Each structure stands twice: as structure tokens, then as C-alpha cells.
Structure 1
């Protein structure tokens, strides 16, 4: 069978269903690329080495998946928000034989990403076009080792993918030892992050947060990752990984997490419906 040609990305700007998508080189490294959606850095992909993850929150997600036992075993992963599929490429490289699905609401962006980057082919990675929650609802019960939510409309996660009912559907899809990873962009006083954790804790027994120390101390706008599972989390190992992170990072759980969330109310579909649909989703993003 002839080998398929290796994609050769070129800088440029494209009009898509989400608006304007730009592909740009990231610094002087010819293999480092950043995908911008409507001016927001939405994915960073290293075409030479899929284990290179430039965005801090993606590195944290990878750390959580790396701590799953047994290390290196294949995983079934559902990515809600595809963008450049950086984390999917990482999982494919570090856990050969994994089967992944990446959901992207923008059909044009999904096509462009396939053209730009050497993504794994089905069944290793399947790209699906559609709404994240609607696609999640079609998944079988207990069919995934991990569900990753990385969906944004500009810098906000749409309401319909942050309610307790949505998180309950994530739990339905996960296996008993499965992991839910949610990217949250926030600024002091951390209203979004606190509500996300409060909502997630109504469904999952074990919840923690990986975040920049500066965000938690109320100094800056940044990303955090909410980590949840029906099974105990590898807290001690995640504390050690956070201590080694290039950016000062903390793992928060237990009493510290209770203090962080104190007074925050969970979000529910009924309230979201009363408020209206909110911004329409697009795929993943970093919001420094």
C-alpha cells in the first residue's frame, strides 16, 4: 500500500463556520504551529514531536493521563473540542493502540486540521463534526477511559456543557475508573472555576484541580483543569508532577478544594434554559 503524503502546513488565514482561522508558526521552531480561532490561540501543535505540548493546561491533562495504570496501555478517549488535536496526538504517541474520537463543531476547521497535521487515522482517531453535548449523548455507557472537555465560545465555556446534567452524561460514558478532564479559563475572583468544581462534585466523588499558582492567588487570568473520577485520583503523584511544572502549578483537593468552592452553587440545565442558550461553542483554546 502506498504511503500517504505527509502534510506540510503553511501559514495563512481561512474563513470557516466559526469565523476566521489562522495558522501561524510558533517562534523559530519550524515544527511548532499555533492555530488561532477568531484571534484566540486555540491549539499548539509540534509536527516533529507529538509529545511536545506547549500549552500548560494540555501538559497538565497529559500528566493526569500519564498517571493512569498501567502506564502506556491503550486508552479510549473522547475529546469534546478538537482544534489541532494536540492531546489526541500525544495519547496516540504515548499509548499506541488507543482509540480516540475528537468532536469539532466547525466542519471547515476539522477539514483544515486534517490537511495541516499528520493526525492518526481511524480507528486510532476519528474526527466527528457536531455539538459536543449532542455527540456525547450518542456514546455507549461505560465506553471511555477519559472524556476531555475543551470547548469555548471566545473565552467562555457554553452553559450547556458545564451543567450537572452534562457532567452526569460524562459519568455515564466513563468506565468505573475513568477520568473527566475539563479546561476552565477564569480570572479572579474565580467565579467560573468555583462553579465548575461545585457542579462536577455533584456527580463525581473524587475531584481535584490543577492550576497556575498565580491564578489561585488572584493575580492573573489563566487556565485551570478540573479533574474528576468515580475512582480515587493519583493525588500524591499529581502533587509531585505539579511541583516539577515549568510554570508554578498547584494540585488542589480535599479541604483546600472545599475552601476554594465554598458558597459556589452548581449549574443546572433548567437555569441555563431560562437564561438562554448563551454563546455557541467552538473548539479548544488557551486564554492567557
Structure 2
């Protein structure tokens, strides 16, 4: 730091922390928007369409102001994959799952997303990860399965994988696919423009979808606040801080901040939703996060024929 000015690395870390904090609120805010099975609020279908439609309208304004060129034909496939995973798959599956489980419960599953993204990149982008990565990826997956079985047993459902947990696994896989699709065109379009184009190009589907699923029943003000948050911040603006932080502070260093994201969701859910801090949830969240950290540290950088994907946080 020179002359009292903040270094790029420090600014990158602060922006990265801001991005992670924004994304850390996604789970409790989504739960606030959808409500629970006993006290439903906005339909997960409406939340999915509306959050993407609002982000799409903001994206059109941004792309117009920055005079961004249209994506080329080669970019359309990866952008479509990103839209399928991040605009439709992740929020829809997450929304339905959060009707039946707490945000804290979901945070344990979502903690596995960085490893799932790297594994998906290894598969789709023909990257060869070292054995250490796969060992810790397997360990993290096993921990999530064990957590699901123990929680089901605690709730009197026996040792079984619940439907809501299946939806959470699907949400993680959808987000990972979307991230890899966006990563493939990030070098050509720029990170901020990727999320903007994804949201803007999906508008012909998301805007009519939001209008067709508009709620007809009374909905609490809190549910609308939750929707506004995931639309403006989780789906769009949070990526600006996150991507800029990665660029300024270095992807390797700043991406480690993702490790605190599940704990932000767990802690915020206590005052926001009235959830309790359960020892089992905290222990398994810590264990999964540790497996992600060790997988990155000892798995080594993948040897790839294509560029390594940019690290991303949970939307």
C-alpha cells in the first residue's frame, strides 16, 4: 500500500468478500421468498422466472450503456448451457428444496459446489485433475450423503435420502454445468458481460414465465424482499463484485473466500428465518468445507487442454 492508497490485492480481497457475502445470503433469501411447505409464499416457479427476468432487464441496460457487442455464433452454446444451469436449473431446484428443508441444511450441500464445478470442468473441458482432488471430492460427496442420512433419521424418516436432498444435489449439478458453460466464453466476452448476456438472452422465456406464474394469493412483504434480493444481487450485481475481486486480487487467493460462504448462510438464517444453530449442521458444514479446501490445496492445478475455469461463488 503506497501513499495511503489501497493495493489492488487488498481491493480484490475486499470485493471478493463482498461478493461472497452477497451470495451467502442467497439461501436464506430464497427461503424467505418461497416460504415453507407449511407456510408457502411465492411459488418456486415464479421466483425462478422473476429473478432472472429482473436481472435480464438490468442486464439489457448494462449491455446498452457499455455498448457491448453481440455474442458470436460460437458463444451461443456455452451461453445456453449457462442459462440452463444458472437461470433455470439451480434456482428452481433450490426453491423447491427450500420449501422442505432449512437454509442451514441446504448450505451443507451447496458447500460442495466448488468441487462439483471443478469435476464438471474436468469432464466437459477434458481437464486432468490429480488423484488428490478426486479423493477429496469423493470425501466431500460422502460427507454430504452421510449428513442427509443422519438428518433423515433424526426426523424419523429412517436412513434414507430425502426428495428435498435429491433436489439439492440436482441444484449443485445444474449450477456446476452453468458455471462451466459461462467459463468457456469468459475469455472472449468478459466475466461481467457473460452473466449479463445469459440473463438478457433468457428474457424471451423468463419474462413471459414470470407473468404467467404471477401469484394470485396474498404474499408477505418479506417474500417480495427476498425475491428482490435474489434477483438484483444474487443473480446479477453480486457477480460484478466477485469477478472484479478475482481480477484484482488473483483468482487463487480470492477464491478461497468461498469457504466461508456456507457459514454466512447458516448464521444469517438464524435472525432472518428463526432457524437454530444445530451442532450436526455446523460439524458437517465445516467438514465439507475442509474437504473443498484440501481438494484445492493437495489436488493441484489440473493439467488441461483448455484454460482452467474461473472460480465462482454460489449464485
Taking structure 2 as the reference length, the TM-score comes to 0.24
User: TM-score, normalised to structure 1's length?
Assistant: 0.26
1 or 2 for the larger relative contact order (CA 8 Å, sep ≥6)?
2
Higher Rg: 2
If each structure's helix is expressed as a fraction of its own residues, which one has the higher value? Answer: 2
